[in-house]
Structure 1
Amino acid sequence: MTTTPDAPLGSRIIDDKSSICVPFILDRLTHYQKQSFDLTGSAPKRPFIVGINGVQGVGKTTLVQTLYETLQDRKGLETLVVSIDDFYLTHADQTALAAAHPDNTLVQVRGEPGTHDVALLTSFFDAVCSGKPAHVPEYDKAAFSGKGDRAAPTPSNPGRLVNGPGQRPLQVIIVEGWCVAFRPAAPTAIEAKWRQSSGSPDSTSSKLHTHKLEHLLFVNEKLTHYDTALTNRIDALIHLDAEKTIYVYEWRREQEAALRRVRGAGMTDEQIGQFVDAYYPAYEMFSDGVRQGIFGASSGRQLRLIIGKDRRVKESTVL
């Protein structure tokens, strides 16, 4: 096992995930390549797309780095890492969304499905899946006093180009993020979860009762557009599943405490709670769908790791 060398002092993460995940992805890649060769007789033109899903602080960054180094450096495959966070709406569009739904606290800040630029997500993956040039978007979370904004391209700095002239075409894309591979749930299932949460308003493990049902259903409806834009394109998925979702609050506090020690500033525990609250309803509504498998029964294309409070793997299953 290895530790992340550049992690903030006091928050180093033990990486017991890569030794399970890397062989799984290499096996799925081999299968994908073999299928493509069998069908066309030539190398696949469409890149192999790996999705990595997990709550904040579960260890996605460490795993992504190891997987990238394996594919890019050891296997010589042209590999791109993108985060779904880089597809958030611009500050102007997010402000407009919030103003259009002033009583829906779920869309007042970036976070929940519906606060991403699905048109950009679609056009980007349309391009890279067709082998066409595309600029990788970049989101600046520090802009507008932490409210964030997409970094605007300029003539001198248009952004990172992939599949450009003289470049090797992309062969693998790793797309990571807290809501990668979330699929919309049946409205009746959302309502059932909401009613269960509302029946126990003092529960510390559910936040659904703090929102109106119509607002939860609004987010669910927005998520339907993510299937075509991204989820249906994923070839293999790694799901880093917290044994208890509520751990995300403690993990985020640990991260922020380490950053405060290094930088001398950071969010307070109260601010962290408010920050995670913006994401938590989606974890409650859509994580069950990922746990059941986004590809259907026994596809062999999804790996689920159950992560304990100490961030170590407790169980792994191929779905």
Structure 2
Amino acid sequence: MSFLNISLASIKTKEMSNSSVVDEAIRFLAPFLEKKLYCQEKKPLVIGIEGPQGSGKTTAATNIRVKLLEKINCNIVQFSMDDFYLTFEQQLNLNRENQDNKLLQGRGLPGTHDVELLMKIFKDLIDIDHDKSPVKIPVYDKSLHNGKGDRLPLEKWNVVEKRVDLIIFEGWFNGYTSINTEETLIRKWNSIKATHPRKFGDVEDRHIQKINCDLRRYEQIWGLFDLFVCIKTENINNVYRWRLQQEHALIKKKGSGMTDMEVETFVDRYMPVYYLYYDGLGKTEEKINSLELDIDEFRNLVNSNYIMQ
């Protein structure tokens, strides 16, 4: 059994050849899972997976689960931040309460999820004897209400009936941390806005302060992570390219979709969060045994870096 036979000499940045994001993630995660099972630890390992939209994180998370199950006999539960979006009615209320804040006019950003429900589900999966108390995980359907989405009824949630060995939790802003002082936040935002006046000229300081305050509530989730897989790109503006590729593929498959301009406008709403917090992911990586995976604009893995505690 391999366990944690990772020498300090191996904890360094490596240039990749034919290795993939999934291959590297399995190489990183499997020893921790094997050790947990060998030691018969009851608490499940919690893995957080981060990756910008369009980077392939959801597909990677699914393939990581499949490949781990091929290697190791265990029970793995996988879910996403997206599963915990506010209900349709809750999002409508949020829209009304923040009518002049375009960042919150629709799901996706910090503040549009049920963080309390997410914490409860994590606590139930970690603490409860599942032989007696099944745990239900919500399911969100993005197609409902003409694409505005809604949470499905309780009877359609996914049920976990036995003890969990590993939890895989993915989300595009997993690990992002709020900026501590308003002075620093506003100074950074004003610099971003000056660089992109056409896109963000109508986003006021108080709109960003609201997002920053909401993001702080998610940091309790990152505190549950035992391991962190961080898919990173040198240029965060690659999100525009990746989202456009996804839309073109959708149009080819279904015959309709957003125009290129509509895709750009769609992504614009997310970019303030990327510009403000993406470069701060290292703060989370420094606290958790982490794997940093650097991908290029074509989603090819070019470097990996173990950050071990």
TM-score by length of 2: 0.86
**CA deviation profile, 1:97-132 (whole Å, cap 9, x unmatched):** 110111111111111100101111111111111135
What residue is the counterpart of 2:5 in the other structure? Answer: none
What residue is the counterpart of 1:296 in the other structure? Answer: 286
The correspondence of residues 62-141 of structure 1 with structure 2, limited to 5 A, is 62-131=59-128, 132=130, 133-141=134-142
The alignment yields a C-alpha RMSD, in angstroms, of 2.0
SS in 2 for 1:112: coil
**How many equivalent residue pairs?**
285
User: Separation in 2 of the partners of 1:94 and 1:281?
Assistant: 20
The correspondence of residues 189-228 of structure 1 with structure 2, limited to 5 A, is 189-201=184-196, 210-228=202-220
Structure 1 pair 198–63 and aligned structure 2 pair: CA distance change class (3 A): closer
Q: Return 5+ residue gaps in structure 1 as ranges.
A: 1-13, 38-42
Q: Return 5+ residue gaps in structure 2 as ranges.
A: 1-17
User: Separation in 1 of the partners of 2:196 and 2:267?
Assistant: 18
Structure 1 pair 270–120 and aligned structure 2 pair: CA distance change class (3 A): same
How far 1:31 sits from its partner (Å)? Answer: 5.3
What residue is the counterpart of 2:183 in the other structure? Answer: 188
Q: Structure 1 residue aligned with 2:46, among 49, 55, 60?
A: 49
What residue is the counterpart of 1:11 in the other structure? Answer: none
Q: Structure 1 residue aligned with 2:235, among 211, 227, 244?
A: 244
Amino acid corresponding to residue 144 of structure 1 in structure 2: H
What residue is the counterpart of 2:224 in the other structure? Answer: 233
Higher relative contact order (CA 8 A, sep 6+): 2
What residue is the counterpart of 1:271 in the other structure? Answer: 262
Amino acid corresponding to residue 179 of structure 1 in structure 2: F
How far 1:241 sits from its partner (Å)? Answer: 0.8
SS in 2 for 1:52: strand
Matched, 1:171 2:170: no
The question of whether the paired residues in 2 share the 8 Å contact of 1:51 and 1:234 is answered with yes
User: Separation in 2 of the partners of 1:289 and 1:136?
Assistant: 30
Q: Which segments of structure 1 move beyond 6 Å, counting only runs of 4 or more? A: none
How far 1:69 sits from its partner (Å)? Answer: 1.1
User: Separation in 2 of the partners of 1:32 and 1:208?
Assistant: 47
TM-score by length of 1: 0.83
SS in 1 for 2:144: coil
Relative to total residues, which structure has the larger helix share, 1 or 2? Answer: 2
The question of whether the paired residues in 1 share the 8 Å contact of 2:192 and 2:275 is answered with no
Amino acid corresponding to residue 173 of structure 1 in structure 2: I
User: Separation in 1 of the partners of 2:213 and 2:238?
Assistant: 27
